[in-house]
Structure 1
Amino acid sequence: NKKGFRIRYVAQYCSTPDSPLHGSISSQTGGHVNSVVRWACDRGYRLIGNGTATCRRTPLGYHAWDSPVPACQAVSCGPPKAPINGGVLTADYSVGTRVSYFCNDGYRLSSKELTSAICQPDGTWSNHNKIPRCSVVVCPSIGSFSLEHGRWRIVNGSHYEYRTRIVFTCDPGYYRLGPAHIQCLSNGVWSWKNERPHCQVISCGELPSPPNGKKIGTQMTFSATAIFTCDAGFMLVGSAVRECLSSGLWSGTETRCLAGHCGIPEGIVNGQVIGENFGYRDTVVYQCLPGYRLIGSSVRICLQDNQWSGQLPICIPISCGHPGSPIYGRTVGNGFNLNDVVSFVCNRGYEMEGPARAQCQANRQWSHPPPTCKVVNCSDPGIPANSIRQSKIEHGNFTFGTVVFYDCNPGYYLFGSPVLTCQPTGQWDKPLPECIVIDCGHPGSPPNGVLSGEKFTFGSTVRYSCLGGRQLKGESSRTCQLNGMWSAPMPFCSGD
């Protein structure tokens, strides 16, 4: 009020309490002392808290309900299990919510399966969590389909199920028209629509008869043959018999009938023949392709007997042979002929000194010898104060793979890794550890007691005494031990 006093107005009854969200007051006997109010939740919600409250008089003199307004929590059925090769469509899992089941592409729900379920007030799904099954889609059988002069086979999948793939191939001498393969689609039909594959025989086209010669054979399809002969006084150059191949081409070379002629000289593998005239006393020159060298005579002459002089030369690769592998390393590359390049690699923990590649040259020598693989060394890791180091080193060096062990002197504990290993990079795998003195901490002093001693590390001893003639109960001295604990419990001083 205006005089500075605080005035409290106290009602002598309990007012009507609030209704919970999604709930209501089901009954109330009044607002006087010992009146009772009851709350209830809407359908699909459960009560959280006390369902009743009683009107009580508090020690401060006012009236209040002895329990707070409860909460109404929505009943949830929880996420339903999805079918294998399918899924579930739903917004939430509360009472009254309907979930729909669906299958992935290539799968369909059985006609006998339920496609949906509803969350019931008791917190269970109406289908009792029975998961529907998604069955794989199957395309019609093509077992009755026959590919004349060809065949078909399943390359993946089985039993004509979804995504089964079938490939069509034709026999040698036939080529395919129509789709090369079909696949079972997700709607249960094959991808070939109305087009069906079929195999058609290959034709090589007509071969003319050579001037001054004859041809026997009129067929032009696969495996047909044509035989050629020359008139008297003419020499056959080229192929005497040619066959229609599965590629649609005639085998052999063009047939010609020439007079007084050695014929086209035989070619060489990895080389060429230079010369355009093949009559009496004409010459041809043989040359090898780059990277090859000629063995035999490079020149041949057409003789009177219509034969080329000498023997057919050959071209062999220019090879440098295997270059060898570095010690503690290996050579990468399988080609050792002209211009081939090999690489050298050192083993793990070794570094290369010298070129990493070499090339085969025209003089049949490698451009570089194999390099040297030198073992990687780590620097001395050092010895921490108050520690002991153990290691096995070779030739005074900490080489790759060297392991160093550390331990601390008595009274110290190791902080860090006790083992260090030299890595292929020339670095240690962990930092150098430290030896830290064991410290038991301040031992404390009893009431009316005096502590003597300022060091609290391993081996240190502190002593106790009492003030005012009081008697010391317990050990008068305590020592810091290896486990970081003080020996004996702290004493105390008896008396007032």
Structure 2
Amino acid sequence: MVLWMNIRLFSGCLLLMTGIYNVKAWTYHYNIDTNMDWTNARRWCQKNFTDMVAIQNQAEIAYLNQILPLHSAYYWIGIRKIDGHWMWVGTKKHLVPEAANWARNEPNNQGTGEDCVEIYIKRQKDTAKWNDERCNKKKAALCYLASCSDKSCSEHAECVETIGSYKCQCDPGFMGPRCEEAVQCWPVKNPQQGFVQCEGVFGAFHFNSSCQFQCDTGFRLEGEQRLRCLASGHWDNALPVCQAVQCLPIIDAPGGWSMNCTHPLSINSFNSSCEFKCGEGFELQGSNTTWCDHTGHWTHKTPTCTVVTCNPVLASAKSQLTCADPLGKFSFRSSCNATCEEGYRLRGESTLTCLSDGNWSAPTPECEVIRCDALESFQHGTVQCQDRLEKFSYGSLCWLECGAGFTLSGSNSTYCTSQGKWSQDLPVCQAQQCSPLIDPSHGTVTCTHPHGQFSFGTVCEVSCHEGFKLHGTPRMECLEMGKWTDTPPFCLAQQCPLLTAQENGWMNCSHPHSLFSYGSQCFLGCKAGFEIIGEPGMECSASGNWSQEMPSCTAVRCAPLSFSQLPEVGPPPSMNCSHPHGNFSFGSQCFFQCAKSHKLNGTSQLICTSKGYWTNSLPSCVVKEMSVSAGMLIYAAVGVASSAGILLLGGLMFLLMRQFTKKGEKINGPVPLLEESFF
């Protein structure tokens, strides 16, 4: 009987279905009644369904392991090695490493020719994992049936298989479950002062439709004349607008008239009008109105105004006037700036303006001597000054000195400038400086600075990061002569005990700081024929200790040799063994020898290989056959007269009879030891 199992997936839920429902979905099928090699299993899947199963994710693997029954030979899946690469045969795509689900130490190609893949369903070890296997092995077939058909999607889509169903992947510009609907752009209306005409294969305002715009007479189109509906549901350009014809803007004359304009359509466009009037202090010359006509020109020229004048102004003592007259000498909007000679400051308004009533905006200003801020004694220092005009005024010169034990930082003299500022910033009296300290490598410096950074009285503490040890004095102080009490210390990585490779092993280490110090990592392995005892990786900790004891290498062991395993067909041979690495372990050699009346049946030497297997089966001893010629020689030596000769002659005849009666019979040797078979 052939067992069939259909599994269908709906809306993210996994359901077990029987064959009475006709529902389109991705389904699984298997046959555990007849085991087949990989090629015939795939033919069976392709004949009855779509193909051998192609696993897409871990959820699918878990589900298959849940619903499939345990089968002693396990199941074939659709992966095969082609040109040295593992490939999904259904899609002809390479198996990427991140998608692989191999069992531990697989694929190993043990025995060569393991080019096909099985899945361990409900296996106690490595359950639901993959194993590479020879393709001629007999296993259960595991298949799937696709769900896409010619009628699944419209002509504007591609049908894409999914786990448990399918979906229609729409072409650009189409949407809907079967991709039958064209994407729609927002409707376009006639612009103000214009009109639009639209058309398209899939309908107006749908994908690939276009709209053409035109404006009324007297208006011009701003933007693209033609728009097209894109696959994204947006027009390829912004909607254009119809703008009225523009007149050039009216430029205001300097200090002339003012104007008031109305713009029924847009600024300075068709039908805009402006009214002019002179400002206070001006008289209008020309038309007081104008309009923008349909040709884009104003109907009247811009008018002008006559300016009002003010009385001339004269400079006061120690001052100078600089005037600007945009509309005429000392006229409306004329301005005069007053400045003083060096060392004097202006008292009053520095700028005078001619107003519309013919008067200046302020009285003429005067000049007075400039003063600087008064200087006072500063911390740890004194000030002495010489005043040329008035105390702390323009030209005053001052000297500054520091008290004993401090150094002057800055200029020791300053004078009052014409800007009322001292020529130099006030200096400061600073404590003696020590050389700056920086954080040592893998360490930190923490300081207190009572008189300034790294100056007299500064105290610094040095500490090292985790895993590093301080070498030197941790505390230093800056003395009054600008010297530290000691040389700066430094940090070195904590040392771990030196490691050497174990006998019959090797060691590979990395040292980020120094040999066998904090952060060093060592990985250890064994030579062929030896296996490691303990974890292979070690790391030097911040405390200077290794993370574990040093692992060791021990020889691989073969099964102990014992003649009790063989049937008793004769006395066992003598065995002489050498064990360079331990009893019955890698490199052990055993030699075998029988008594003179017996001969050795099998090899005389066995060797334990690096894989833990003996090179051959145990030998045995069998009785030697006595030839007729040997018997005749014995008879002649003893003589026919003696009773011993008679007995010997009888024995000789017995041997002759046995020689003829058992001619052709074979001597069965001892049963060889069974060797393990790995496949």
Same fold (TM over 0.5): no
The TM-score with structure 1 as length reference comes to 0.37
Query: Higher helix share goes to which structure?
Result: 2
